[in-house]
C-alpha cells in the first residue's frame, strides 16, 4: 500500500462520500479537492456548485477562491450567489462542506469567536458567510477537519451554524427543514456520523493506525463509541495518483498535514 498523509486520507474519504449524480456545494481547499477527485474517479456526473455562482464547471485546476474564474470554466451556468442560495432553498443541493473553529457533539459549528464576550472576544473569526444558510437548507452537511480538544468541544462558544442544535428533534422544532442537517465529520483520526435518535456524534470508522484512546484524547465531549465500527479503507494507488497529479499537483492542499 502506498504511503499517504492525513490530508490525502481525509480528502479521499470525503470524495468517496459523494455519489455519482449528486449535487454538492463546495468552497476552496479540501472540499474542492474532494469534489474534483470524486469527478475523476467514481462520480463523473457529480454536479459541483460554488457559492459565488459557478454551476457544474469542469475545473481545469484548483481554484483559489469561490469567485475564481475557474469555478465557471465550461460550466452549465455562471449564476450569482442569490441563485445558489435559491437552489439550496429549493432543496436540490444534496451536500455542502463546512468548517469552523469549533464543533460540538450535535454538529453545531462556531466560526465567529472564541470567548464569552462577543464585544471583546479572545479571538474573532470571519463569521458565517453563507455557512448558516447552507447548513440550514442543504440536505447533508459534511465537515473535514483535524481533530483535537480545541475544536471538538462540549459547547461551542458561539453558534454560528446550526447542526442538530440541542439534539433529538430540536432542529426540526426550531423550524429547519425536516431530514436536513449534519451527516459526516471526517478527521485525521476517524469518520463520524450522528446517532439517529439522540443526534449525538458517534464513531463510524477508525483510520488505520488510530485507536479509540486517540478518539477520547482528542475529543472534548463524550463521543459515542458503538460496539461495532469499521476500519477505514486506505487510499488506493489510483486515488492517490489522480489526487497528486491531476487534482492538486502543486500540493496547495495535500501538502498540508492535518494535526
Active site residues: 51
The neighbour count for residue 213, using CB atoms within 10 Å, is 8
DSSP H or E stretch at residue 172: helix 170-173
Q: Among candidates 33, 24, 32, which has minimal Cα distance to 5?
A: 33
Which residue is it, cell 472540499?
A: 31
The CA distances from residue 143 to 117, 140, 175, 227, in Å, are: 26, 10, 23, 24
| Cα 81 to Cα 83: distance, rounded to the nearest angstrom | 5
Amino acid at each position: 500500500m502506498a504511503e499517504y498523509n492525513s490530508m490525502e486520507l481525509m480528502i479521499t474519504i470525503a470524495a468517496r462520500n459523494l455519489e455519482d449524480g449528486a449535487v454538492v456545494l463546495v468552497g476552496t481547499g479540501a472540499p474542492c479537492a474532494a469534489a474534483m477527485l470524486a469527478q475523476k474517479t467514481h462520480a463523473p456526473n457529480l454536479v459541483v456548485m460554488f457559492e459565488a455562482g459557478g454551476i457544474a464547471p469542469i475545473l481545469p485546476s484548483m481554484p483559489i477562491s469561490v469567485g475564481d474564474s475557474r469555478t465557471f470554466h465550461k460550466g452549465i451556468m455562471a449564476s450569482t450567489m442569490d441563485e445558489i442560495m435559491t437552489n439550496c432553498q429549493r432543496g436540490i443541493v444534496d451536500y455542502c462542506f463546512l468548517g469552523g473553529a469549533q464543533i460540538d457533539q450535535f454538529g453545531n459549528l462556531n466560526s465567529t469567536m472564541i470567548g464569552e464576550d462577543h464585544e471583546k472576544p479572545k479571538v474573532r473569526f470571519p463569521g458565517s458567510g453563507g455557512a448558516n444558510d447552507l447548513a440550514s437548507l442543504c440536505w447533508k452537511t459534511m465537515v473535514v477537519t483535524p481533530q483535537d480538544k480545541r475544536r471538538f468541544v462540549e459547547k461551542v462558544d458561539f453558534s454560528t451554524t446550526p447542526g442538530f442544535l440541542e439534539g433529538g428533534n430540536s432542529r426540526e422544532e426550531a423550524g429547519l427543514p425536516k431530514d436536513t442537517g449534519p451527516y459526516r465529520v471526517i478527521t485525521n483520526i476517524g469518520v463520524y456520523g450522528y446517532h439517529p435518535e439522540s443526534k449525538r456524534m458517534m464513531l463510524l470508522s477508525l483510520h488505520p493506525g488510530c485507536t479509540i484512546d486517540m478518539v477520547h484524547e482528542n475529543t472534548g465531549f463524550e463521543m459515542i463509541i458503538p460496539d461495532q465500527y469499521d476500519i477505514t479503507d486506505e487510499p488506493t494507488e489510483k486515488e492517490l495518483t489522480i489526487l497528486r497529479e491531476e487534482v492538486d499537483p502543486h500540493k496547495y492542499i495535500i501538502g498540508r498535514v492535518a494535526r
